[in-house]
A and B are shown apart, each in its own frame.
Chain A
Amino acid sequence: MSGEVKKGYVRGLDIKNGRVDMSHGSGGRAMAQLIEELFAAAFDNEYLRQGNDGALLPLAAGRLVMATDAHVVSPLFFPGGDIGCLSVHGTINDVAVMGAKPLYLSASFILEEGFPLADLQRIVQSMAAAAREAGVPVVTGDTKVVEQGKADGVFISTTGVGVVTDGLDLSGANVLPGDAILLSGSIGDHGMAIMSRRENLSFDVPIESDTAALHGLIEAMLESGADIRCLRDPTRGGLATTLNEIARQSEVGLMINEEAIPVKPVVAAACEFLGLDPLYVANEGKLIAICNAADAGKLLEVMRAHPLAAGAAIIGSAHADPHHFVQMKTAFGGRRNVDWLAGEQLPRIC
């Protein structure tokens, strides 16, 4: 008599009505079942199938890029996406803006006891679909369960690795006076999509998150041969904060032109209503590119030809400034500082 329980006697996960309980994180059979029927079924790939404690991966030539990102967004489901696809896009983008080709992802889940399995499956399937579409498999993972009230549904932490070819060095420290600043499209979409669904603040506006994996766009930009100094995705803290990071790293001043910065009218209106500045609102599918000014036109053309950057624009330039200020020419005809974000504008945005 074998030790295996007969197939027909094992009850499958009750995805429809079931909930996460403490046994799903205990390391026992319930956890194995959750992993097998929910996670492995969705993420299935040859590396995950190895079934060991770690994934054994082939190494490509070049240098490794590694990035990690924790996701605690609230609400978990929002217009244009959910925490699942967001956790894939966010990490792929962090790897890709280094100029690397993203290869593999890891994912770890912190689940709150009582979380509906149906919601978990929806999130995992969205994550798997995003990974498949991006061509970047989730090759290893982990699941933990904490008592009710100790987390908020689900937190997802992802790590990505990629390879960057030798000779390509993109860095926020590379910017030189005279360089041009390009932006791939309208700002503030993700943050305002989240805000529009906040429990205490629902308003009915058709704003969708821009969450997207940008490595395809970046590949096209790198292939254009333009002399790119730096790529960044302006997530938390928005465009303003990312530009301040670059100005400090490169020890230059940046001047942007308010009229050149694309903001969708519905996002501008929602920001106005809530007293927010779109410059500080998070994006999840946009990038800033800073390049040699001579190549700005060429790079802009390549960006605009890609569906994820059809609204790209040249928004400003770098100059020498010992104070490393980011400044803006206002549409009104004045000039002002664009400072770091102070305090917390929108908590738990990603």
Chain B
Amino acid sequence: MKYIDEFRDGELAKNIVANILREAAGDKSYSFMEFCGGHTHAISRYGIADLLPANVRMVHGPGCPVCVLPIGRVDQAIRLALERNVIVCTYADTLRVPASDNLSLMRAKARGGDVRMIYSPQDALKIAREHPQREVVFFAIGFETTTPPTALIIKQAQAEGVTNFSVLCNHVLTPAAITHILQSPEVRQYGTVPLDGFIGPAHVSVVIGSQPYEHFAHEYRKPVVIAGFEPLDVLQAILMLIRQINDGRAEVENEFTRAVTREGNLKAQAMVSEVLELRRSFEWRGLGEVPYSALKIRPAYAQFDAEARYGIVYQPVADNKACECGAILRGVKKPQDCKVFGTVCTPENPLGSCMVSSEGACAAHYSYGRFKDVEVVSR
């Protein structure tokens, strides 16, 4: 595959790894957070952690869209399907996120709810057009990457005068989450989460650009390297972070120049701000309430806002006590530190959200890396 294989080249990887080994040779240790689940997945799938020296450690961040979705928000969608006889459309991984009463959207479907997996919001609008006698709700989740298509579909529904379609908007914002992590007591006070720099998001940055991260570099003195989701991108970003630390720099650098500019996609940004506005606060799984960290539909488009249309009020629901997703999403714990990891909680029966998506830290480690845990045990 052109433009893909070049970034998975094992020979080139050896060169970058050799540079990392040489430049991180001292007794200094390096801890970098990859914010995005896409990077977590690449690190696990290609075995990148194995290629790094022991003093370069990767900490998984919260950038996995379904992982940070709190139970209360999934409950809202499930209730729409089961109690309001609404057709609920959403992206695949969202179907499996565990919610209250041992339900998920997939299990709600088995109980008679009309829940449909879609690949694009366009599919949801199409379903609404095809079923004029039914109400259709698009359960919209994700970071800035998936936000513009949601804004677009709302505008399109308005232009076409579709009256049986609305959006349950749960879009969240990356910079707010990074700020929250940097201000957390684990990072600032206790030092339990050593963070020397960030691998910045790939697809999110295509939309928002590299500029929003400049604040972190300057204000918190943390280097940020924006990187693509291919394994060579990740290795190169790690090398660039090591170089910034060694040089005493804290800058925003862009490894993903083939897709990311400083300004980002201005057209997409304009459309999002036309249709959506900031929420004062939003609960994230793991991070709790984070101020100004999510978007809702502007009053001008209220007829397409499922929250307004169905009078939905958010009810927070506590996570399962045994589940460590919260600490894992903040980088405080690793999946292996959780007592239920791989025992009660598996990809088939996820207890916590990090075990659901292949971008989740637990699912990535369980699916790709757990041979490392048992080898240590059996030695």
Residues in A neighbouring B368, C-beta threshold 8 A: 336-337, 339
B347 CB → nearest A CB, Å: 3
Q: Is the CB of B46 within 8 A of A334?
A: yes
Once A265-B1, A323-B374, A343-B96 are accepted as A-B contacts, the answer to whether A336 and B47 lie under 8 Å apart by CB is: yes
- 9 residue pairs of the A-B complex, CB under 8 angstroms, read A201-B119, A269-B1, A272-B1, A272-B4, A327-B371, A332-B46, A336-B46, A336-B368, A337-B369
Residue B48 lies at the interface, judged by CB distance under 8 Å to chain A: yes
Residue B155 lies at the interface, judged by CB distance under 8 Å to chain A: no
Residue B334 lies at the interface, judged by CB distance under 8 Å to chain A: no
Residue B307 lies at the interface, judged by CB distance under 8 Å to chain A: no
Given B46, B231, B367, which contacts A337 in the complex, CB threshold below 8 Å?
A: B367
What interface size band does chain A fall in?
20 to 34
- Of residues 343 through 379 on chain B, the ones whose CB sits less than 8 Å from some CB of chain A are 346-348, 363, 366-371, 374, 378
Sample of 6 more A-B contacts, CB < 8 Å, known A200-B119, A323-B378, A332-B13: A200-B126, A268-B1, A272-B4, A333-B13, A335-B50, A342-B363
Residue B51 lies at the interface, judged by CB distance under 8 Å to chain A: yes
Once A323-B371, A337-B369, A339-B347 are accepted as A-B contacts, the answer to whether A331 and B47 lie under 8 Å apart by CB is: no
| Chain B residues proximal to chain A, CB less than 8 Å | 1, 4, 8, 10, 13-14, 44-48, 50-51, 96, 106, 118-119, 123, 126, 231, 346-348, 363, 366-371, 374, 378
Given A201, A269, A332, A342, which contacts B47 in the complex, CB threshold below 8 Å?
A: A332
The answer for the CA separation of A146 and B14 in the assembled complex, in Å, is 61
Once A200-B119, A342-B367 are accepted as A-B contacts, the answer to whether A334 and B374 lie under 8 Å apart by CB is: no
Shortest Cβ-Cβ A-B pairs, 9 listed: A334-B47, A342-B347, A336-B368, A332-B46, A339-B367, A333-B10, A200-B123, A332-B10, A334-B46
Residue A322 lies at the interface, judged by CB distance under 8 Å to chain B: yes
The proximity string for A residues 317-342 relative to B, scoring 1 for CB distances below 8 Å and 0 otherwise, is 00000110101001111111101101
Q: Is the CB of A336 within 8 A of B369?
A: yes
The answer for the CA separation of A268 and B4 in the assembled complex, in Å, is 10
Given B13, B50, B123, B366, which contacts A339 in the complex, CB threshold below 8 Å?
A: B366
Q: Is the CB of B378 within 8 A of A322?
A: yes
Q: Is the CB of A343 within 8 A of B374?
A: no
Residues in B neighbouring A342, C-beta threshold 8 A: 346-348, 363, 367
A262 CB → nearest B CB, Å: 15
Q: Which residue of B lies closest to A266 (CB)?
A: B1
Q: Which residue of B lies closest to A342 (CB)?
A: B347
Q: Is the CB of B47 within 8 A of A333?
A: yes
Residues in B neighbouring A327, C-beta threshold 8 A: 371
Residues in B neighbouring A335, C-beta threshold 8 A: 47, 50, 371
- Of residues 136 through 182 on chain A, the ones whose CB sits less than 8 Å from some CB of chain B are none
Given B48, B118, B126, which contacts A334 in the complex, CB threshold below 8 Å?
A: B48
Residues in A neighbouring B45, C-beta threshold 8 A: 330, 336
Q: Is the CB of A337 within 8 A of B119?
A: no
Given B46, B119, B363, B371, which contacts A330 in the complex, CB threshold below 8 Å?
A: B46
The proximity string for A residues 296-318 relative to B, scoring 1 for CB distances below 8 Å and 0 otherwise, is 00000000000000000000000
Q: Is the CB of B348 within 8 A of A336?
A: no
Residues in B neighbouring A265, C-beta threshold 8 A: 1
A165 CB → nearest B CB, Å: 39
A266 CB → nearest B CB, Å: 9
Q: Which residue of A lies closest to B11 (CB)?
A: A333
Residues in B neighbouring A268, C-beta threshold 8 A: 1
Q: Is the CB of A333 within 8 A of B44?
A: no
Once A265-B1, A339-B366 are accepted as A-B contacts, the answer to whether A332 and B8 lie under 8 Å apart by CB is: yes
The answer for the CA separation of A86 and B126 in the assembled complex, in Å, is 31
Q: Which residue of B lies closest to A339 (CB)?
A: B367
Q: Is the CB of B4 within 8 A of A336?
A: no
A56 CB → nearest B CB, Å: 43
Q: Is the CB of A330 within 8 A of B47?
A: yes
Residues in B neighbouring A274, C-beta threshold 8 A: 119
Residues in A neighbouring B44, C-beta threshold 8 A: 336
Given A322, A325, A332, A340, which contacts B231 in the complex, CB threshold below 8 Å?
A: A332
The answer for the CA separation of A331 and B231 in the assembled complex, in Å, is 11
- Of residues 198 through 218 on chain A, the ones whose CB sits less than 8 Å from some CB of chain B are 200-201
Q: Which residue of B lies closest to A265 (CB)?
A: B1
The proximity string for A residues 264-292 relative to B, scoring 1 for CB distances below 8 Å and 0 otherwise, is 01001100101000000000000000000
A53 CB → nearest B CB, Å: 37
Residues in A neighbouring B231, C-beta threshold 8 A: 332
The answer for the CA separation of A340 and B10 in the assembled complex, in Å, is 26
B138 CB → nearest A CB, Å: 14
A329 CB → nearest B CB, Å: 9
Once A268-B1, A330-B46, A336-B368 are accepted as A-B contacts, the answer to whether A200 and B118 lie under 8 Å apart by CB is: yes
The answer for the CA separation of A331 and B7 in the assembled complex, in Å, is 11
Q: Which residue of B lies closest to A201 (CB)?
A: B119
The answer for the CA separation of A330 and B50 in the assembled complex, in Å, is 12
The answer for the CA separation of A336 and B368 in the assembled complex, in Å, is 5
Residues in A neighbouring B371, C-beta threshold 8 A: 323, 325, 327, 335-337
